[in-house]
Amino acid sequence: MSEPDRIIRLKTVLHRTGLSRSTLYRKIAEGTFPAQIKISINGAGWRESDVNRWIADPVAWLKERQF
């Protein structure tokens, strides 16, 4: 059985990707970075697996999302 996907917050995403906050949100709007998911009324985060796939190969992530 695989482990459940962790949800990571903005600070962690920025640290792992090396992107600035504004660049991250621009990429989300363009569809070139995984969108965050709502985890509570005031909180959102990203699936760690989505972020890891994007870090490993941003172009492949984009192609996966186009289908």
DSSP-H helix ranges across the chain: 10-17, 21-30, 48-56, 58-65
Query: Residue 12: its pLDDT value, please?
Result: 97
Query: Residue 10: its pLDDT value, please?
Result: 96
Contact 34, 50 (CB under 8 A): yes
3-class state of residue 40 by DSSP: coil
CA angle (60, 34, 6) in 5-degree steps: 105
pTM, to two decimals? 0.84
| Residue-wise pLDDT tens digits, 19-49 | 999 999 999 999 999 999 998 999 999 999 9
Residue 46, burial from CB neighbour count under 10 angstroms (0-12, 13-18, 19+): buried
